[in-house]
Structure 1
Amino acid sequence: MSKVIDIDYNVLKEELKKKGYKLTPQRRAIVDTIVDSEGKHLTAEEIYDEVKKNCPEIGLATVYRTILLLEEIGVVSRLHLNDGCSRYELVHSDETHRHHHLVCNICNRVIEVEDDLLEKLEAKIESSYDFKIVDHSVKFYGICSECQKKLDE
Structure 2
Amino acid sequence: MNEAALQKPDYEKALRDAGVRITRPRRVILGILSEGGDHPDAMEIFHRAVKIDPAISLSTVYRTMKLLEGIGAIHRHAFEGGPSRFEPAGDDHHDHLIDMDTGDVIEFHSSKIEELQDEIARSLGYEIVHHRLELYGRKRKKRL
TM-score (norm 1): 0.74
Q: Among 117, 121, 137, which residue is 1:121 paired with?
A: 117
The aligned counterpart of 2:13 is: 10
TM superposition shift of 1:60: 0.8
CA contact (8 A) 2:9 2:88 kept: no
How far apart are residue 91 of structure 1 and its match?
Answer: 1.5
Q: CA deviation at 1:75?
A: 1.2
Stretches of structure 1 that go unaligned for 5 or more consecutive residues are none
Which residue pairs with 1:38 in the alignment? 37
Match of 2:102 in 1: 107
Q: Is the 8 A contact 1:71 1:77 kept in 2?
A: yes
Which position in structure 2 is the counterpart of 1:85? Answer: 83
Identity among equivalent pairs (%): 32
SS in structure 2 of the partner of residue 106 of structure 1: coil
Give the gaps of 5 or more residues in structure 2: none
Q: Which protein, 1 or 2, shows the higher relative CO under an 8 Å CA cutoff with sep ≥ 6?
A: 2
Q: How does 1:58-97 map to 2 (within 5 A)?
A: 58-92=56-90, 94-95=91-92, 97=93
Deviation track 1:91-141 (CA, whole Å, cap 9, x = no partner) reads 12x32x4x21112233333211045642562475268445661x2211112
The correspondence for 1:137, drawn from 132, 138, 141, is: 132
Tell me which amino acid in the other structure corresponds to 1:28: R
Letter in 2 for 1:113: F
Contact 1:27–1:66, Cα closer than 8 Å, also in 2 = yes
The 3 A distance-change label for structure 1 pair 126 and 63 is farther
Residue deviations 1:45-66, cap 9 Å, x none? 1101111111221111111011
Question: Is this contact kept in 2: 1:5–1:35, CA < 8 A?
Answer: no
Partner-residue secondary structure (3-state), 2:141: helix
Contact kept in structure 2, 1:100 and 1:112, CA below 8 Å: yes
Change over 3 Å in CA distance of 1:42–1:121 after alignment to 2:
same
CA 1:31–1:127: 2 relative to 1, 3 Å: farther
Question: C-alpha distance in 1, partners of 2:126/2:110?
Answer: 25
- Higher mean C-alpha deviation, range 57-66 or range 102-111: 102-111
Structure 2 SS opposite 1:56:
coil
Work out the number of aligned pairs and report it.
Answer: 139
Partner letter of residue 27 of structure 2?
Answer: R
8 A Cα contact 2:15 2:21, kept in partner: no
Whole-Å Cα distance in 2 between the matches of residues 44 and 7 of structure 1? Answer: 18
